[in-house]
Amino acid sequence: MPPSGAKTDGELPEAVMPTCEIREVLTGQKALVTGANSGIGKAVAVALGRAGADVVVNYNSRPEAAEEVVAEIERLGRRVFAHQADVSREDQVQAMFQRMFQEFGTIDILVNNAGLQKDAPFDQMTLADWQLVLNVNLTGQFLCAREAVREFKRRGVVKEVSCAAGKIVSMSSVHEVIPWAGHVNYAASKGGVMMMTKSISQEVAPYRIRVNSIAPGAIRTPINMAAWSTPEALQELYKLIPYRRIGEPDEIGRAAVWLASDDSDYVNGITLFVDGGMTLYPGFESGG
Ligand code: NAD
């Protein structure tokens, strides 16, 4: 007999999501989340707030969506404000960090989440499509990580706050390792995020700065609505996911809390795949 809830004859068990409370492992820490007014970034910002952090909610457009996130984190009793900045613009990134230092004094946690897609068949991809995706997804992470590392090095470890002088969590993707036809600019940007994250980590680990990535699989957000908004699309998607369900943004939030907390203090330069097994070569499920 299969264990209770296991898959039987093509029928899928009902998806059950984690509901346990997030522990307060980030009390008083100062966090900045980029692209935090939507999808994964929003869930990460709220999860960090639930874990006790004060939060800067970065956004580029739709201030009203950012204010909703601010209100949700305020209800948790944390300090929080929204700040508009295009992460691909050096002057805007630097101004955002300066404001954070004025209002919160420092930064302990950076979540480099902002990202976008601009898909096209390769031979029709314009230079502008290529540059937009690389500028936001890769250069944006470089600019924010550099400002954070400067502050982490200046300030050093404050042992009452954290074992580490600072933590960076880079939002990568399963496409840091899975090639993606029709999305060459996106896959190249995430491959770059992987190697940038590991290289920064190697360089700054001696300063007790931890830099790690999360590689989400298919998470239910606006970026990939076409892949989950109809039952037919979901059935197609499940062929790529051994765990046979889509991920929810809160599940990435929980992973980010762990990577930002002292619970993961000996974890450096990894990619944490949160993907229901998408990177397990599901095409080989039936023996290859
Ligand atoms: P989303 O479209 O809901 O959110 C993207 C966020 O980035 C938005 O808040 C957007 O405004 C912001 N952003 C875009 N350009 C910006 C800029 N120039 N400056 C500042 N912010 C900017 O999508 P999401 O799914 O929540 O994506 C978040 C991250 O997760 C991205 O890096 C994405 O590549 C990654 N990711 C998502 C999935 C998924 O299945 N949803 C899978 C793998 C990786």
Q: Phi-psi category of 287—alpha, beta or left, where left has phi over 0 and alpha has psi -120 to 50? A: left
- Ligand 1 mutation pick, 180, 223, 225, 229, max ligand atoms within 8 A of CB: 223
List, for residues 84-107, the tens digit of each pLDDT value. Answer: 999 999 999 999 999 999 999 999
- Which whole number is the average pLDDT over 36-49? 98
Q: Which is the closest atom of ligand 1 to the Cα of 252? A: 30
- 154 CA from centroid of ligand 1 (Å): 30
Q: Identify the pLDDT of residue 69.
A: 98
Q: What is the pLDDT of residues 134-184, one digit of tens each?
A: 999 999 999 999 999 999 999 999 999 999 999 999 999 999 999 999 999
| Residue 4 pLDDT class (50, 70, 90 cuts) | very low
**Which are the contacts of 272, defined by CB distance < 8 A and separation ≥ 6?**
212, 213, 214, 215, 255, 259
Q: What is the average pLDDT value for the chain, to the nearest integer?
A: 95
CB-CB contact of 168 with 209 (8 Å): yes
For ligand 1, the distance from its centroid to the CA atom of residue 284, given in whole angstroms, is 30
Hey, which CATH number is domain 30-220+248-278, 3.40.50.300, 3.30.499.10, 3.40.50.720, 3.40.640.10? 3.40.50.720
pLDDT in tens, 266-276: 999 999 999 99
Average pLDDT on 112-139 reads 98
Inter-axis angle of helices 39-50 and 63-74, to 10 degrees? Answer: 20
Is the pLDDT at 1 greater than 50, yes or no? no
Residue 3 has pLDDT above 60, yes or no: no
Cα 65 to Cα 204: distance, rounded to the nearest angstrom? 35
Pick the atom of ligand 1 nearest to 87's CA.
19
* pLDDT for 185 beyond 50: yes
Active-site residue identified among 186, 238, 243, 266: 186
Rounded Cα gap, residues 87 and 161, in angstroms:
27
Q: Give the rounded distance of the alpha carbon of 231 from its chain centre.
A: 26
Domain ranges of the chain: 30-220+248-278
Is 111's C-beta closer than 6 angstroms to any atom of ligand 1? no
Angle made by CA atoms 74, 249, 233, in degrees to the nearest 5 = 145
pLDDT at 199 > cutoff 80: yes
Residue 214 CA to ligand 1 center (angstroms) comes to 13
Q: Is 186 a catalytic residue?
A: yes
Q: Cβ(222) to ligand 1 under 6 A?
A: yes
pTM summary value = 0.96
For residue 62, how far is its CA from the centre of ligand 1 (angstroms)?
14
HSE-up (13 A, CA, CB side) for residue 136: 19
Mean pLDDT, rounded, for 43-54: 98
What share of the chain in percent tops pLDDT 90?
92
Tell me, using a 6 A CB cutoff, whether residue 117 lines ligand 1.
no
The mean pLDDT value for 198-219 works out to 98
Residue 14 banded pLDDT, cuts 50, 70, 90: confident
Label residue 10 by pLDDT band (50, 70, 90): low
Does residue 124 register a pLDDT over 60? yes
Asked whether the predicted pLDDT for residue 133 surpasses 50, the reply is: yes
Does any ligand 1 atom lie closer than 6 A to the CB of residue 279?
no
Ligand 1 site, residue 66, Cβ cutoff 6 A: no
Kind and range of the H or E run holding 203: helix 184-204
Least confident of 3-17, 114-128, 228-242: 3-17
Rounded to the nearest whole angstrom, what is the distance from the C-alpha of residue 87 to the centroid of ligand 1? Answer: 12
